[in-house]
Amino acid sequence: MHISGILVRTAPGRCRSTATLLDSFPGVEVDRFDETSGSIVVVQEIATREGQEESLRRIQRLPGVAFAELVCHFVDSGDAPVPLGESVPNDRSAAERSES
């Protein structure tokens, strides 16, 4: 899963309507927006890198969008998180660890 943070800038008068439109896109969630500056912060979750890139281009082409830029990108490999209080195993074998 590709999780992205995107900053979108619009004309201040179009901010709310653009935010509403973005919120309707699959995998896109508007985190917050500021009508005074025309700034919209979007979190996007898409299965593939290609899908992430195409969705960003789609946002960039929206009427009234001055720019939309990727500000962070994370790939979730699906590995289970390590519970609090447990250590993450390293690459050494159990025998090597017991000898140290």
Contact (Cβ atoms closer than 8 angstroms) between residue 18 and residue 62: yes
Q: What is the DSSP string of the chain?
A: -EEEEEEEEE-GGGHHHHHHHHHTSTTEEEEEEETTTTEEEEEEEESSHHHHHHHHHHHHTSTTEEEEEEEEEEE---PPPPPTTPPPP-SS-HHHHHH-
Domains of the chain: 2-75 (3.30.70.920)
Which residues on neighbouring strands pair with residue 3, listed in sequence order? 45, 74
Single out the residue of 21, 23, 32, 18 nearest to residue 64, CA to CA. Answer: 18
Single out the residue of 57, 87, 88, 89 nearest to residue 70, CA to CA. Answer: 57
- For 8-49, write each residue's pLDDT tens digit: 999 988 999 999 999 999 999 999 999 999 999 999 999 888
What confidence score (pLDDT) does residue 94 get?
46
pLDDT exceeds cutoff 50 at 95: no
Distance CA 41, CA 29 (A): 9
pTM of the model: 0.73
What confidence score (pLDDT) does residue 75 get?
85
What confidence score (pLDDT) does residue 78 get?
67
- The mean pLDDT of the chain is 83
What confidence score (pLDDT) does residue 74 get?
85
